[in-house]
Chain A
C-alpha cells in the first residue's frame, strides 16, 4: 500500500542565538501507510507533540524531508503548507480546541469553510451526517460550551474528518477524558478508520489504548525505538 506520509532524517532544534540550542528530534525516519491506525507513545518531553506538529506542517523541521501523499514539502511556503494541510490532514488536540463563538455544527464545517471561503448545502449535509454518526444531532446548534467533555471531543473528532483528510493526527485526544469517554472516542476513531480508510496517528499515554492500535511507534528522547510488536521504527505490519 502507498504511504500517506514519509519522514526521513527529521531533526528539530529549538533555541540558538542567545538561548542555548536544544535538539528535540534527532533524525526521525518514519512512514505511515494508507489506512494505518497507529499509536505514538513515549515519555513526557520526548518530542511527540513536536513530531506531530512537524507532520501537520504547523512547524518546519530544522532538517530532513517530509513527503505527503507523494508531494515533497521541501521549500514550501506558508500558503502551500496551508493548502496541503487543508487537503490531506485533520487535527485532533488534547484540549478539544473548539471555537466557542461557533455552534457545534459550524465548528465541524470549519475546515471546509476556512479553505474554500464558503460552505455549500452538501457541506452542511455532510457535517450533520457526521454529527449524527457520533450521536450529537440534537446538539448541532449548541455552543461547545454547552457540551460535556466527551461530547466536545467527539465534535472535534468529526471536525477533523470534515474535509476528508487522508491522515488524522491526534495529540492526546483522550488525555482530558474519563476512562469511559476515552474508550468511546478511541472506538469512534477506530470505526472511522475501518469504514473510511482514513489513516490515524494517535499520541497517547494510555498503554491499554495504545495496545488496541495496529502499530505502536515509540519515541524516547527524540528518537524512535524498537517497540514490542513492531520492530524498529518505520515498517508497518505486513
Chain B
C-alpha cells in the first residue's frame, strides 16, 4: 500500500476514540441529509404526481386574439374581425396542429379536448357541469384515470359518459343509470353512465363529465373544432421550456403546468431552497466537527509527524496523509450515514400511514442520492482536513522531537 495510505489508516486506527467521534459526526450528518432529501424528494414527487395526474403537462389553446386576423396587403394594413358562430374560442384544423405538436422532440403523447359549460339533469334536478369531450384512448395517455375509478369501467363508447363522484351523489346516479346533458346550443341528449370517478378534488368531482369527443362537439356546437390539445412530455420539468416552441409550431398558445400551477411551483421551489440550506448547514457543521477533532489529533501526533519528517518524509506526503484521513472518514461515515438515513426513511414509510393503511407517499432513496451524498461527504472531509493537514505539513520536526 502507498505510504500515505498506510500511515493514514494506522494513525486513524491508533486514535480510535477520535476516529469514532468523527465517524459518528459524519454518520449523523449524512443520515440527516439522506433522510431529508429522500423525504422532500418523495413529498414533492408525490405532490407533482397527484397534481399532474389530472392535468396535462402542456395545454395548447387558441390564441386569445384568434378572432381578429390581420390581413396584410401591399400598402394597406387592415384588421378584419372574423365572424364566429361559437361563443367559445375553438381550434380549427386541429389534427394537423396536433400532429405538429407530436412531432416536437420530447413530446410523448397528445389528446384532443372539446370542453365547455353545460348542465346535467336527472329527475328535474339540474346541475352546472363542465362537459369534456375526449377520445378516451388518447386522453388516457395524457392523464391517469385507472386509479380514480370508483365503479364501472373506463369505457367511453358513443352515448356513454363518465362522471365524478360528487355529481353522482347529488343526482343519485350510479353506473348503468341514464342522465341528460344540455350543452351551450340548448341541445339535450340522454347518456348512459359507464363509470363513476374520484378525481381527487371535490370541485372536480362535482363538475367534470367526460363524454366522447363527437358528442361534446355536437352538444357544444363546435362542429369539427376542439378547444384544447393536451400534451404529455417525457421530462415534465422541461414543460415550461418547451412551451414557446410548441406554441410556435402549432400557432396556438401553450401553457405549461408550471405556469398553470405557479403557486405550487413557487412553494416547491422555496421548499427545495430550505432543504438546500439545511443540507448546507449540516455539511458545514460536519466539516467543522471533522476539522476541530483533526486539529487536536495533529497536535497530539506532533511527535509521530516529527519522526516521520526526520526519517525523510517530504512535507507533501504529510499533507496527503491527513487529507486522506479526512476523505476516508467522510466516505466511511457516508456509508454508515446512508444506511442510517435510509433506515429512518424506510421506517417512516412503515410507520406514517394514511387512513387506508398505505404509506402517505413513497420516500425515494435512490442510488443517485446515495452517490451524490457520498461524494459530498468525501469533499467535505477533504476540505475540512485541509487546515489540520497544512498544520501537520508545516510542523517543525525539531520541536516535535526535542519535546
Where the two chains meet, the residues of A that have a C-beta atom closer than 8 Å to any C-beta of B are 49, 53, 56, 58-59, 78-79, 82-83, 85-87, 89, 91, 93, 97, 99-102, 106, 110-111, 113-118, 159, 163
Is A97 a contact of B3 with CB atoms below 8 Å? no
Is A118 a contact of B14 with CB atoms below 8 Å? no
Known: A117-B3, A118-B2. 13 other contacts (CB 8 A): A56-B310, A58-B401, A59-B398, A79-B315, A82-B309, A89-B312, A91-B310, A97-B303, A102-B10, A111-B311, A114-B3, A115-B313, A116-B3
Known pairs A100-B14, A113-B3; A82 contacts B307 (CB<8 A): no
Is A82 a contact of B11 with CB atoms below 8 Å? no
A117 is contacted by which of B303, B311, B317, B398 (Cβ under 8 Å)?
B317
Residues of chain B at interface, number, CB under 8 A: 26
Residues of A within 8 A of B309 (CB): 58, 82
Q: List 8 A-B contacts (CB under 8 A).
A: A58-B309, A86-B312, A97-B303, A101-B10, A113-B3, A115-B312, A117-B2, A117-B317
Question: B300-343: which residues lie under 8 A (CB-CB) from chain A?
Answer: 303-304, 307-317
Asked whether any CB of chain A lies closer than 8 Å to the CB of B24, the reply is no
A89 to B307, CA, bound (A): 14
Asked whether any CB of chain A lies closer than 8 Å to the CB of B166, the reply is no
- Interface of B (DSSP majority class): helix
Is B397 a contact of A58 with CB atoms below 8 Å? yes
Known pairs A82-B314, A117-B4, A117-B317; A110 contacts B308 (CB<8 A): yes
Where the two chains meet, the residues of B that have a C-beta atom closer than 8 Å to any C-beta of A are 1-4, 6, 10-11, 13-14, 303-304, 307-317, 397-398, 401-402
Is A99 a contact of B307 with CB atoms below 8 Å? yes
A114 is contacted by which of B11, B303, B311 (Cβ under 8 Å)?
B311
A83 to B315, CA, bound (A): 11
Is A82 a contact of B398 with CB atoms below 8 Å? no
Is B2 a contact of A101 with CB atoms below 8 Å? no
Residues of B within 8 A of A91 (CB): 310-311
Is A114 a contact of B397 with CB atoms below 8 Å? no
Is A101 a contact of B13 with CB atoms below 8 Å? yes
Q: Which single residue of chain A is at the shortest CB-CB distance from B308?
A: A114
A117 to B398, CA, bound (A): 23
A21 to B397, CA, bound (A): 22
Is A118 a contact of B3 with CB atoms below 8 Å? yes
Known pairs A117-B4, A117-B317; A111 contacts B398 (CB<8 A): no
A137 to B1, CA, bound (A): 23
A99 to B304, CA, bound (A): 7
Known pairs A101-B11, A101-B14, A117-B2; A53 contacts B312 (CB<8 A): no
Q: 10 tightest CB-CB pairs across the interface, nearest first?
A: A86-B312, A114-B313, A101-B10, A101-B14, A115-B312, A111-B311, A82-B314, A97-B307, A113-B3, A117-B3
A111 to B309, CA, bound (A): 9
